[in-house]
Amino acid sequence: MESPLLDKSYKFALNIIHVYQKVSSEKKEFVLSKQLLRSGTSVGANIEDCEELIRLLVSILKSSKNNL
């Protein structure tokens, strides 16, 4: 099951990587561009963590409903 949100966050991360490469090579700016890279690429990981937690909670709710 593919998530549209994960697809968008992946494309966003690729765009952030391209921006980072351009800024760090042309403008020679490293501090803010590294922070941008870390922040922009962590979005997908956060979404995956949330989706995993949601699946776990749904599973727990289903099993508790079956035990009633």
Distances (CA, A) of 16 to 24, 50, 59, 68: 12, 22, 35, 49
Residue numbers of the domain that contains 19: 4-66
Domain count, the chain: 1
Q: Render the burial of 15-45: b for 16+ CB within 10 Å, e for the rest.
A: ebeeebeebeeeeeeeeebeebbeebbebbe
CATH of the domain at 36: 1.20.1440.60
Asked if residue 11 lies in contact with residue 24, where contact means CB atoms within 8 angstroms, the answer is no
Determine which of 3-12, 13-22, 24-33, 56-65 has the lowest per-residue pLDDT on average. Answer: 24-33
Task: Quote the pLDDT of residue 68.
Answer: 65
Summarised one tens digit per residue, pLDDT across range 18-56 is: 999 999 888 788 888 999 999 999 998 899 899 999 999
